[in-house]
Structure 1
């Protein structure tokens, strides 16, 4: 008897898989994917909605914490969304830069422009119907990507230091064991 997969369950598994791998390749092979996502563009659309939900929530949180610094709040929120779902972001970026067909190219281009406009509006740097909103938002996203890369580098440095401390502690414990033996 076959197992039934809900769209939400499948999307959760897809998100986990993407965030674990972080290579930007859509996991079309997972169980239940073909039932709910007949093609990569459909899956990418669902991931885009998941990304928007995460990003919007984080923007609201950051704006509440520092309402006088809207642009930095938006940049920080974007970087945090990327940290929360690095694989999803990589898949969205991959879909934009390497679309599988014209349909995906158009969908990802429009989604990116809308996201950029939203960033600019939420940062207080553009109006809702401002023709420059997408351009302003793209600059905000670039700032966020720079912040995210710097944050990734700091996290990697911390991990290396922690491993070094653990290694040092292991050496100390081994020496104490030798002395006690």
Structure 2
């Protein structure tokens, strides 16, 4: 992959993520300009979105564990919910194609990715060892369910749409 193609792929992927987060219909936004030229098929695009999800999730988990080191499962569940708040459309796409893959290859890829994510969640929560995906996956699945209950109650705000709280506005008024 050339440097130009690498950057173009990143630009298209950012647009795909933004479109998925805006639409929130759970479908791959294959109509975004540049998708068909950049990604070979739906599975490649879904893989790129899943990688975006996993990367953001890992960052959120690291942050949550540093802020809440005494409750590892709670921190991991909170991180998963926070990632869903930042990437709601991407999560919906992943969930949709996890439940209804369009091919055998996609079904296999989604099953593997789901098992790996669940094992990661369990390991980061201190409930399973690293490398034992089969034993850790059910534990991680329960953590994901816990996180989904946290997410359902949280408002979804786009990352670039952070509004000041009432207290922030009050502080600003006193400072002026």
TM-score calculated relative to the size of structure 1: 0.80
* Distance in 1 separating the partners of 2:80 and 2:139: 14
Structure 2: unaligned runs, 5 residues or longer: 158-176
Which residue of 1 is the match for residue 162 of structure 2? none
Matched, 1:27 2:29: yes
Which residue of 1 is the match for residue 135 of structure 2? 132
Offset, 1:9: 0.3
Offset, 1:7: 0.2
* Distance in 2 separating the partners of 1:7 and 1:13: 10
Offset, 1:129: 2.8
Matched, 1:15 2:17: yes
Looking at secondary structure, tell me which structure has more helix per residue.
1
Which residue of 2 is the match for residue 37 of structure 1? 39
Give the aligned length: 151
* Distance in 2 separating the partners of 1:22 and 1:109: 22
Alignment of 1:2-151 (within 5 A): 6-130=8-132, 131-151=134-154
Larger radius of gyration: 1
Offset, 1:32: 0.7
Name segments (4+ residues, structure 1) moved above 2 Å: none
* Distance in 1 separating the partners of 2:125 and 2:90: 23
* Distance in 1 separating the partners of 2:38 and 2:75: 35
TM-score calculated relative to the size of structure 2: 0.82
* Distance in 2 separating the partners of 1:66 and 1:150: 20
Which residue of 1 is the match for residue 172 of structure 2? none
* Distance in 1 separating the partners of 2:75 and 2:149: 15
